Amino acid sequence: MTTIKHKRIELPDLPYNYDALEPVISKEIMTLHHTRHHLSYVTGANAAMDKLEKMREGLGLELDYKATLRDLSFHLSGHKLHSIFWTNMKKPEKKNIPSGAILEKLEEQFGSFEAFQAEFAAAAKSVEGSGWAILAKDNEDLHVLEIQNHNLLGAVGVNPILVLDVWEHAYYLDYQNDRGKYVDAFWQVVNWGDVTARLAR
Ligand code: MN
């Protein structure tokens, strides 16, 4: 019988140093967030794949299949979202306004850039517990969605082009319980060049 192998996930490098987003996001948060939290999703997704592989080889007789699929969904989604999140950010700028294709699209779909910001921020601020605000592309349309954990309340088949992690681990050391302040500061570090490139894909 052929050995079925899924490619294991590796933690991607950040496209900048851990202190690059200061003072909006501290070096301490970025270091822990990348090397502990993101890594745990990579490890968790790989562990689920290990279990499923053992099952396929007939060695996973006591596998809790439903729990393993839940783990795969959670950890794989967590890995995907963090990978987008890192590249969605860059060194902060006080006046960090999008231009070109992304600005036109946001104006067309939300009325104005400010209206889009308000909608995205409202999603980020209203996530219950842990989650994300995402701007996702579905063919020619852009949708703001609110993700619970990493994998609930999303929409299958849409492509996130801008994501904001609002789990407490993403901001608590810098902003304590003031998620709103973190969300408002996030605009300074958005890499609109990356968002524009994702829009064009
Ligand atoms: Mn996170």
Q: What is the CATH classification number for the domain harbouring 58?
A: 1.10.287.990
What confidence score (pLDDT) does residue 34 get?
98
Q: Which amino acid is at 42?
A: V
CA of 101 to the centre of ligand 1 (A): 29
CA of 149 to the centre of ligand 1 (A): 9
* Measured distance CA(164)–CA(131) in Å, rounded: 9
Task: Indicate whether 41 belongs to any domain.
Answer: yes
* Measured distance CA(69)–CA(45) in Å, rounded: 10
Residues 52 and 140 in one domain: no
What confidence score (pLDDT) does residue 62 get?
82
Closest by CA to 80, choosing from 147, 1, 32, is: 147
* Measured distance CA(24)–CA(77) in Å, rounded: 25
Residues 67 and 151 in one domain: no
CA of 79 to the centre of ligand 1 (A): 9
CA of 82 to the centre of ligand 1 (A): 6
Range of the domain at 126: 100-200
Give the single-character DSSP code of 33.
Answer: I
CA of 80 to the centre of ligand 1 (A): 11
What confidence score (pLDDT) does residue 3 get?
65
Q: What is the CATH number of the domain that holds 125?
A: 3.55.40.20
What confidence score (pLDDT) does residue 5 get?
84
CA of 182 to the centre of ligand 1 (A): 14
Residues 144 and 73 in one domain: no
Task: Indicate whether 195 belongs to any domain.
Answer: yes
Q: Report strand pairing: 131-138 vs 141-148.
A: antiparallel
Task: Indicate whether 79 belongs to any domain.
Answer: yes
Q: Which helix (H) or strand (E) holds 176?
A: none
What confidence score (pLDDT) does residue 1 get?
57
CA of 62 to the centre of ligand 1 (A): 31
CB 32 within 8 A of CB 169: yes
Query: In total, how many domains does the chain have?
Result: 2
CB 160 within 8 A of CB 63: no
Q: What is the pTM of this model?
A: 0.96
What confidence score (pLDDT) does residue 172 get?
97
* Measured distance CA(188)–CA(30) in Å, rounded: 16
* Measured distance CA(51)–CA(46) in Å, rounded: 9
* Measured distance CA(98)–CA(94) in Å, rounded: 13
Token pair, residue 74, equals: 């959670």
Q: What is the mean pLDDT of each run of 10 residues along the chain (201 residues)?
A: 80 98 98 98 97 87 90 98 98 96 98 98 97 97 98 95 98 97 98 98 91
Residues 110 and 189 in one domain: yes
Phi/psi of residue 144, nearest 5 degrees: -90, 130
Residues 57 and 146 in one domain: no
